[in-house]
Structure 1
C-alpha cells in the first residue's frame, strides 16, 4: 500500500478508510500513542497502537527518532488539538533509534546545541518549519521573476573579478600549497595554476549579470556566493545565497519599484503557503521575547512584522535627509547610539537604519543617493559629483535587507572611478565592453536570501536559516 503524506491525511475530507503513513516518532506515550511526523507539515498525526496485541519487543523499539510505518484506519480524533488520528492495525519499525544517544529528544534545546547537530536539527519543529519556509520562499523568487519575463542566469562561481572591491575572497587553486611555483620576482606564478590566473570564489554575480542584461533585457541570478570575512556575528556567513536582478533601461526609481514589488510578492506568497509554520514560529518568538528585558522586546509579533511590510508603501528618503533626521534624533543627542552621527558622509549602521524604520517613519524605508566614497565603483555618479544613485531597503528588526543602484553606464566616468580606486582595467576589460558597445541606463539590486529568510522566520541568527552554516573555523558536515 502506498503511503500518504501526513499533511494530506490531516487535510483529508473523508475518514474511515485504510491508510498508510511513514515517518519518524516524535513521542511515544503510555505505550499507546505515537506522535508521528514525516516533514510535510509542522503538525504530527497521532497513531493509536493496539498495545495489548503488539509484541513487547516491538513496543520497546518505538522510541523518539525511530522511523516507522503504520497502517490502519483514519478516524476522527477523540483527543483535543487534532482533527484525525490513525487507529493502527499494523506497525513496522523501519529504522531503530537509540534513545540514549539520539540528541533530538522532545525537550527545548539551545540553538548553539542544535548548530552542533546541524545534520539532525531539522527533526525539530523549529528547524522543520524554517526549512519549509526557506523552500517556499525560494520557489516564490523564481515564480515572481518568471511571471515578469526575466531570464534566469547562472553566473560563474569561480571568477577573477572582485565585484565589491573588498578583497575578502576565497582563493581557488590547484597549485601544491607545500611547493608553490614562483616567478623570478618571488611571487606566486599563477600562470601555472589550473586557470592560468589568480581566481576566487565569487562574492556576487552582478558584473556578469550586467553583460547579459545588455542583451536579454532583464535577467536574475539566484545562487551561492562566498565571502572570506573573519566575522563571527549573527549576521554573517562565509557561504550564502544571493538574488540579483539586472534590468536594461531601468533607472533608480524603476529599480526601487521592482524591489518593493518583489519583496512584497515573495512574503505574501510565503504567508499564504506556510501559515501553520509561521504561526508556530511566531509562538516560538513570543516565548523567546519573554526571556528578554522589556526594553529589548520587539514591539511587533512576527506576523505583524510581515504584514507591516505588506500593508505599507516603502518611504523613499535621500541619504542627506536621513542624516539630518538621525543627527537631530533624541538617541543621537543623548548618545544612546553606539555610533554617533556627527556629519554627512557617515556609513549608517543597523541601529540607525532600524531607528528610521521603527521609530521615525514607522514603515519600510528606501534610502537613496549615498556618498560616492562609501559605495562601490559601478554605481552611477550624480551630477553633484559627491553622491551616487545607490539605494538600500531597510526593514524593521533587521535594518538593510536590499542593496542596489543604477549602474554607471558612461564609459569615461566608469574608467575614471576604476582608476581612482585602483581597480585593474585589464582584468575587467569584458565589463568595460558593455559600456563600449551599446551602453544604456540599467539598474539592479542584490538581496541576501538568508537575510530574507531570517526576516520571514523571525530568527535572530543567520546560522539558523541555512541548512549547514559555513563560518570562521567551522566547515562541519
Structure 2
C-alpha cells in the first residue's frame, strides 16, 4: 500500500519500510548521495528522499528532473536536517513519468505566468496552499450549517429567472445559432427551444432557496453561479461559487448575527486546521508588504485573519456611511476614483475599503441602502426610500457578503417587480410563497472566491479558483 507523505511527516515510525509515490520538486546529486524533494499533494510539505545514486542507472538519473513522477521504496529514518523529523532512505526507485522541458522549474514564477498554466499551477507551493485552504473553507461551510440544522439544497443551474434583475446572464439553448427560428416580428421563437422558453445559467439560487425555507425553515444552497459581466478586474469572474442561506422568521438583525457568526466560524476553522498552508502564505504576505506594521491590509496574513476574527464588526447605516465618505480626506482631496457626491449613489470598492481599513479599522456591516440601487426582493423600510439590506465589508476585498430581509408583503413585492420591470408571470410561483402563509424571512450570499481571496491573502480572484472563467478566457 502506498503511504501518504502527510501521514509519514506527522506520525511516521522510524525504521518502517514504506512506499511513496509523487512528483520531484528538486534534485541534488553528488558521487555518494542523491537528495530528492518529493511531494504527493497530501500536504504542504515535501518529503526528503536520500539515495545512493549507484543504485540506479545513469540514464534514469538524467530523467529525474523537476516535475517527474516516481515511486520510491525504503526505510523511514530520522532526518539529519532541521526542516523535517523524518526522511526516506530509499533502496528502490521507479520512474513513472518523465517531465522533459517542464515549465515550472524550482524558482519564483509570477502569478501572471502561472495563470497561463492553470492546469499545472496546483503543483506549486503557493497554489497547493491556496487550494487546500479552499477545500477546508468548503468543508467548514457545510459543517457550520449542518450543526445548526440547516438543510442543504441543490437549486437549479438552468433558470428562466434573472434573480438580480441585472440582465447579465449566459443563455442556455439548443437552437441553431446560425439559423434560429424567428417570430413574425423577427425575434427568436423560443417555443421551438428545448425548454419552450428563453433560459439562462443562474446568477443566484436565492429565489428557489426562499421557497424551500417556507417549508423547511432553514436552508442553504452552495453551488456555481454565472455572471456575463464583461469585466476584467481582479475581483470578477464569469463563473463562481455562492453560499446562500435562507432562514424563515429571521429579520435583518438576526441575519446580521448569523452572517458575522458564519464568517468568524470559517476564519477560526482555517486558523486551526490549515496552519502549514497559512504559514506558507503568511511568509508570502510579509514579502509583499513594504511596511507590515501599519493598517489592517498591511498586516501579515495570519495577523490580519486573527484581527478580523477577534474584532466585533462595526455597524453603520448607508446614510451614515455616505456622510463619513463625503467628509473623508480622499474624497475632499480628489483621491477617490469615484467621488462621493450624493446620497443614493452606489458604493464602490474604494469606498468600502476606506470605511473598513481607515475609518472603522475593522469589518463593517452597512445597512439600509437606498431602495433604487438594490434588488426587487428586499424589504422596503417604513421611510419608503430604503430597504432592509446589509453588506459586510472586509479589508482588501470590500463587500464579502450581501443580504437582506426579504419582502414578505405581496403588494409591496408586486410594486417592486413593476418598478424594476420584472415580469410577474415569470415569477408567479415566487408570489405564491407570499400568497400562502407569508412570513418574515432573511438571507445572504457569500462568494466563496471572495472569502478565499481574503483568507489566503492573494491579490487576484483568478488565483483562488482552479480554472478561472473570465472574458476571452475559457481554457481547460
Question: 1:285: Cα distance to partner?
Answer: 2.0
Question: 1:296: Cα distance to partner?
Answer: 10
2:341 match: secondary structure: coil
Most deviating of 264-273 and 139-148: 264-273
1:426 match: secondary structure: helix
Q: Quick check: 1:119 aligned with 2:119?
A: yes
Give runs of aligned pairs for residues 101-112 of structure 1, distance below 5 A: 101-112=101-112
Question: 1:299: Cα distance to partner?
Answer: 2.3
Distance in structure 1 (CA, Å) of the matches to 2:139 and 2:295: 34
Distance in structure 1 (CA, Å) of the matches to 2:312 and 2:398: 17
Distance in structure 1 (CA, Å) of the matches to 2:385 and 2:55: 81
Q: Residue 55 of structure 2 contacts residue 91 of structure 2 at CA under 8 Å; is this kept in 1?
A: no
* Map of 1:366 onto structure 2: 365
1:297–1:266 distance in 2 versus 1, CA, 3 Å: closer
Question: 1:12: Cα distance to partner?
Answer: 1.6
1:293–1:281 distance in 2 versus 1, CA, 3 Å: closer
* Map of 2:272 onto structure 1: 272
Question: 1:54: Cα distance to partner?
Answer: 2.3
* Map of 2:133 onto structure 1: 133
Q: Deviations over 1:129-156 (max 9, x none)?
A: 1110001100000010011000000000
Give runs of aligned pairs for residues 408-419 of structure 1, distance below 5 A: 408-419=407-418
Distance in structure 2 (CA, Å) of the matches to 1:199 and 1:114: 35
Distance in structure 2 (CA, Å) of the matches to 1:402 and 1:297: 19
Q: Residue 326 of structure 2 contacts residue 340 of structure 2 at CA under 8 Å; is this kept in 1?
A: yes
Q: Deviations over 1:151-206 (max 9, x none)?
A: 00000000000000000000010001111101112110000000000000000000
Q: Quick check: 1:35 aligned with 2:37?
A: yes
Give runs of aligned pairs for residues 53-72 of structure 1, distance below 5 A: 53-72=55-74
Q: Residue 289 of structure 1 contacts residue 297 of structure 1 at CA under 8 Å; is this kept in 2?
A: no
**Would you identify which runs of 4 or more consecutive aligned residues in structure 1 move more than 3 Å?**
292-298
* Map of 2:16 onto structure 1: 17
* Map of 1:191 onto structure 2: 191
Give runs of aligned pairs for residues 346-365 of structure 1, distance below 5 A: 346-365=345-364
Distance in structure 2 (CA, Å) of the matches to 1:238 and 1:299: 29
Distance in structure 2 (CA, Å) of the matches to 1:153 and 1:294: 43
* Map of 1:223 onto structure 2: 223
* Map of 1:212 onto structure 2: 212
Give runs of aligned pairs for residues 298-447 of structure 1, distance below 5 A: 298-447=297-446
Distance in structure 1 (CA, Å) of the matches to 2:296 and 2:161: 42
Distance in structure 2 (CA, Å) of the matches to 1:420 and 1:392: 23
TM-score (norm 1): 0.97
Unpaired runs of 5+ in structure 1? Answer: none
Distance in structure 2 (CA, Å) of the matches to 1:36 and 1:169: 44
Q: Which of 50, 53, 69 matches 1:51?
A: 53
* Map of 1:87 onto structure 2: 89
* Map of 1:152 onto structure 2: 152
Q: Deviations over 1:310-355 (max 9, x none)?
A: 1011111111111111112222222222222122112111111111
Give runs of aligned pairs for residues 278-289 of structure 1, distance below 5 A: 278-289=278-289
Q: Residue 289 of structure 1 contacts residue 298 of structure 1 at CA under 8 Å; is this kept in 2?
A: no
Question: 1:288: Cα distance to partner?
Answer: 2.5
TM-score (norm 2): 0.97
